[in-house]
Amino acid sequence: MTRLHQFAFVVCTALILSGCNKETDQPVYQASEALPDYNQSRFAYYQQETRDWLLEHRVFMTKDKERELSLIMPQEFTPTTPNGEAVLLVHGLGDSPFSFKDIGRHLASKGYLVRTILLPGHASKVGDLQLPVIEDWQGAVEHHIALIKKKSDKLWLGGFSTGGNLVTEQALQDDSIQGLLLFAPAYKPTSKAVRFADIAGVFVDWVDIYPEVSHLRYNSLPMNGAAVYYQTSANVREQLKDQQYDKPVFMLLSEGDKVIDTPYVAETFSNVMVNPHSQLVWLGEQAPNESRVTAYTMKLDEQKISNGSHMGMLFSPLNSEYGTQGTMRICNNGQGDELEARCLAGEEVWYSAWGYTEPDKVHARLTYNPYFEESMQIMDKMMQVTQ
């Protein structure tokens, strides 16, 4: 392929990724003048200064600003009976610390000091994802690892999706980390086009623009956010190459996940994460043939569940926003405008991963893990091995 053809291919990729959307003038799509600081000397200072910054820069989705902030802020979960160990949890692209509300509370109930952090560019307005570079996300994780180590020298790292990439990179470089808790780590995307996001960003600013209606996560995605995510995935794949990680790893994967290359991640678990106590929980029908794997079916007709989603594994069925009685129904589920409109109109829905369809069924996103308690019990048992 000539350079001219390569150039044309990149431009075409950018246009395809952009979905013919144009950047709007609404405040939610505009970037702030700068990102917030994350280098405070104490976690309480970090929380307070982050809150102040969000009050000034966030585009709020409801009238109840205090409630919104309480949901998306960095949190510390303090155990009643400490076991001397700590866990730092890092959310994914477009998400917020709310991703780990249920898991954080569970870990604290088992004695762990738990903190969740906010990756720069998140939880304010989606336009702010045009600002970060990979060093911002790496720097935030590195700083808060150092900060929580002042409280405990026995530290676990956990991450969802992009956050899984960031904590894996840190654990591979820091032998003092006890082990990893990984929820759909995005080591490799299913989309091959995302690798060109940094170049495509020269031509277009957005991968997708959707109405921003959620108070917990972004719906749209700037090209810069996609590019920085891809850098995290390329970095971690390079580091995982030709080596093994011998600390305990808990991993939770969904077979129906259309965001990440789940078979690649499962293969990485089998071949790289060699600790005999490591555990993989597989939500689906065709689990890897591995002694350390526990599988649960996701064909749950009584619950109107067709398969498992990328985001759903994080939340309990009792979650106030995403559980069975939660406030959030995600109808933008890759099933086409007609079915999405029927979902929004209140028709009976089934629940699935993004992009899944069946004849005569309307699907919303599955936003909870029907096996949340079972998954947590497996994670608890693995973590207790090291105590």
pLDDT digits (tens, 9 = 90+) for 104-148: 999 999 999 999 999 999 999 999 999 999 999 999 999 999 999
Contact 193, 16 (CB under 8 A): yes
Radius of gyration of the chain (CA): 20
Helical residues (DSSP H) of 261-336, grouped into ranges? 262-272
Query: Is the model more confident about 79 or about 191?
Result: 79
The pLDDT, as a whole number, for residue 2 is 41
Task: Check if the beta carbon of residue 220 is closer than 8 Å to that of residue 126.
Answer: yes
What pLDDT shows up at residue 195?
86
What pTM was computed for the model?
0.94
pLDDT exceeds 90 at position 4:
no
Tally DSSP H helices, then E strands, for the chain.
11, 12
Query: Which residues are within 8 A (CB) of 289 and not within 5 positions of it... i.e. 6 or more apart?
Result: none
pLDDT score recorded for residue 1 = 39
Q: Please, are residues 200 and 10 in contact by the beta-carbon 8 Å criterion? A: yes
Q: Measured in Å, how far apart are the chain's first and last C-alpha atoms? A: 56
The yes-or-no verdict on residue 9 having pLDDT over 70 is: no
133: Cβ contacts below 8 Å, ≥ 6 apart: 228
Residue 198 has which token pair? 């940094």
Check residue 24 and give its pLDDT.
67
CATH number (3.40.50.720, 3.20.20.10, 3.40.50.1820, 3.30.70.660) of 3-243 reads: 3.40.50.1820
337 vs 385, more confident? 337
Percent of the chain with pLDDT over 70: 94
Q: What is the pLDDT of residue 19?
A: 47
